[in-house]
Amino acid sequence: MAPHATDENRDRHQQSMPTDSALSIAYIMKSLSLEEKCQLLSGSNMWETKPLPRLGIQALKTTDGPAGVRGSRWVDGTHTTHIPCGISLGATFNPDIVRRVGNILGSETKRKRSHVLLAPTMNISRSPFGGRNFENFGEDPYLTGIMARAYIKGVQEEGVGACMKHYVANDQETRRFNMDEQIDERTLREIYLKPFHMALQADPWTAMTAYPRINGEHADTSEFLVKKVLREEWGYNGLVMSDWGGLNDTIQSITATTDLEMPGPPIRYGEALRKAVLSGRVSETDHINPSVGRLLKLLARAGLIDSVKDAGSESTVKNTQKHICEDDEVELDDPATRRIVRQAASEGIVLLKNNNLLPLSPSNLRKISVIGPNAKYPTTGGTGSAIVNPYYTTNPYESILEVVKTSKHNVEVAYERGIFTHLQPPLIGDCLTAPNTGNPGFQVDFFDSECFEGDVVATTNWQNSLVYFMSDGDVPPSLQGKRYSYKASGILRPSVTGTYDFSFSSTGKAKLYIDGELLVDNTNWTQISGNFMNCGSVEQFASKELEAGKSYLVRVDNLVVPPPTRPHDNTLFHKISGVRVGMLYKHDEEAMFNRAISTAKDADVVVLVVGHNNDTEREGSDRMSLFLPGRTDELVSAVCAVNKSVVVVTQSACAIAMPWKEEPAAILHAWYQGQECGNAIADVIFGAVNPCGKLPLTFPERIEDHGSHKWFPGNAETDHAEYGEGILVGYRWFDAKKIEPQWPFGFGLSYTTFEIANVRVSRTSGVAEDICATVFLEITNIGEVQGSETIQVYTSPSKAISEAGLEVAPRSLAAFSKVEVSNGETKTVEIPIHREAFAWFDVDGKEFQVPGGRWRIDPGNYQCFVGTSSRDIVSTVVITVE
């Protein structure tokens, strides 16, 4: 429910600022010129706000992101902990482990000399095709709100800020900067805004607006969304920033109370904002000062405002200039962090099927065949804002091998890839070394010309065959804002003689050479791909014979010019420059496939690891199919045809089709597990961890069954999208339309068996109290091993909704509790049901005789469904709301 803000709510946000800063802030506000105020409301570079040394104001440094703390460099930055993706954290149904992961992120934010972590992502997995679903917590707003609240608390307990994003409805990648999403207000309130309102209980330091238009207005320019709902109704007095390049209008954004334009240098705030004030279109008193006040409170909370008497000192000036320096970022890979991340990763894995094959025991096995494109090269995380440089990664093959070695049993572990599923060959990796250092990767030489001539202005090094200039900090200062050129070069030493396929994608006008021979001319490209945030060319391909051990000079010449993209509203991403060179030995793919089948035939058990990758599921583009890429389904069926003891491990950020689901003995869905991917999968397969993950979204049998299918992603030519399914998102659609899903929301098996009994309700009361009722039940572990079960409580809707002729979801998640139970043990569980579970948004507001709509809770009897998924209901009780 979304009640009006109270004085208590407003005071809570205001009192979070240190009281000893109040005088400094008041003094600073009076001392600031209009020009300084407008500069403070915009970034100074990619990640920092503008410092003001004369008044003791230091720069606030932000950092991505949702899968780990990246630091100041987009690619090849300092190492960090790579946590499981958001959808995997959602699958844990465990706010406590999410909070502990948040603690890790908060600590690493400080070590990266940053003050605000740009996370969590709180958007809804509206469609299985959403390219950024890996960042979300799932399809249900209540689950998302609970997990986001825990994440934010964990981060901020370490003394740094979190950023709830993207406010609101950032649910697709297709034309994401311009798409106008038509969402009726009831749906907007009950589904897409609800998690953000719930998250305010954690007091997030900041919020970030979304890219798309919502009902005709960009989120950052919407007085309805930011000023009316977020600030006036909910009482949020924290800082609201734009997404990167997503500040859309000087006047409308500031009047909507969007405080900060990121990144810098400013385009629509800064000098443009000052001129708007001088022309009378913006009020310094009503618009500028409140935003500056919120920024100063954030800076004070982060400890970035020196005392007034020390303002302007030499030490202050040095402090304001140092935060962006990557050298100041500290790395710390400690065992305690590894254990928590490994637990979080394993808790998110969902056991979908098990015909008594799992868990495996090395003592009973002679040979394990590990097969699949994701077995040695798993997808550990998403792209874009979720890219990090991890301390290490683990893969299923090596982790399985380690378990077998540790067991000291004589078990053969065979491996075959079977198929390729990438859309572009992988980066060249350790086969490539920079000429100037001998370290892996490319050397980049910059020229102050458009023809690669003259002196080299500067040289930088990149760890692989990917060069990615995301910010001005990646480019020499003398070249910023100018047309320039650069050469990326490296020494390639292949390990196998044969034919190699090269792929090449670039921004700008680029050419790829090998030993001076032109291999790909990409100077006149016109077709956009998802590379470089939708600013790069589609892959161009060429092949070349190479000899093992011989050295070849790989060189890319790139003239930096804007990409030929369709017009869009973002002010940042068209400035990106980069090149990507992929290389792959030309395998006989049919022979690869056949070797995998042959390896599977004589194995005692097969672990087949398949799924999506960073080509097929990524930020910047939406998926196009429910099916796994390439010949995946064919491979699964072929392996299952020759071996009945097959464990299929799938990786994806959202629902996938499994036309073969009846064929394997066991199925695990593993999401993207970060650095502990391999270890977490092995822990579950061998029973070191009893699986307890639950699906945070519905898996349909076919995409036509999904509620979003008819409307997602909308019309890319007209930039128009209808949220036509309304409130019937995810499982609500399947329940309302009586469609059987492939796997239901909340579903997940265990290696043990639980019994739920004696379900009852007590403490039924009126709506004046926060808790309407408490559900009591007993859960018994009748199996042989300790395990955890997630009890889920769903409630029926008010009868008044259907009587008004509105769409009705038969049941909605109202509460859940994850309970660990030893074998043979019985536990009593209490689950409080809060009044918000019965609230719905009456757009007409007729009940209250006021315009604009209101939240309402109708008296009456409500069914309360208790179970272990949205479809596995073990008991139904009645709650009376008076």
Catalytic residues: 243
* Chain position carrying tokens 């017009």: 567
Q: 3-class DSSP state for residue 816?
A: strand
Pair 138, 90: CB distance under 8 Å: yes
DSSP per residue, 489-519: EEEE--SS-EEEEEEEEESSEEEEEETTEEE
Q: How far out from the chain centre does Cα 234 lie?
A: 25
Q: How far apart are CA 251 and CA 247, in angstroms?
A: 11
Distance of CA 573 to the CA centre of its chain: 19
Identify the H or E element spanning 520.
strand 517-522
Using DSSP bridges, classify how beta strands 720-722 and 666-669 pair: parallel, antiparallel or unpaired.
unpaired
Q: Are 81 and 170 in contact (CB under 8 A)?
A: no
Residue 582 CB neighbours (<10 A): 21
Q: List the 412-416 sheet strands across, edge first.
A: 350-354, 666-669, 646-651, 605-611, 367-371, 412-416
Place of tokens 């008296």: 859
The torsion angle over the Cα atoms of residues 294, 297, 298 and 304, rounded to 10 degrees, is: 140
- Angle at which helix 589-601 crosses helix 632-642, to 10 degrees, equals 30
Q: Are 260 and 43 in contact (CB under 8 A)?
A: yes
In order, the DSSP letters of 322-387 are HTT-GGGPPP---HHHHHHHHHHHHHH-EEEEESS-PSP-GGG-SEEEEESTTTSS---S-SGGG-
- How far is the CA of 511 from the CAs of 485, 519, 540, 651, 771, in angstroms? 12, 8, 11, 35, 65
Give backbone dihedrals phi and psi of 568, rounded to 5 degrees, phi first.
-150, 170
CB 98 within 8 A of CB 284: no
Give how far Cα 869 sits from Cα of 95, 383, 725, 731, 761, Å: 18, 30, 22, 10, 19
Rounded Cα gap, residues 120 and 84, in angstroms: 13
Amino acid found at 367: K
- Say if CB 77 and CB 112 are below 8 A apart: no
Q: What is the radius of gyration, based on Cα positions, of the chain? A: 28
**Secondary element (H or E) of residue 635:** helix 632-642
- Helices of type H across 271-322: 271-278, 289-301, 314-322
**CB distance 299 to 51 below 8 Å:** no
Tell me the residue type at 686: F
What is the torsion angle, in degrees rounded to the nearest 10, for the CA atoms of residue 124, residue 128, residue 134 and residue 137? Answer: 40
Identify the three-state secondary structure at position 704. Answer: helix
Q: How far apart are CA 32 and CA 18, in angstroms?
A: 21
Q: What is the distance between the alpha carbons of residues 353 and 640, in angstroms, rounded to a whole number? A: 14
Burial letters 508-521, b for 16+ CB under 10 A, else e: bbbbbbbeeeebbe
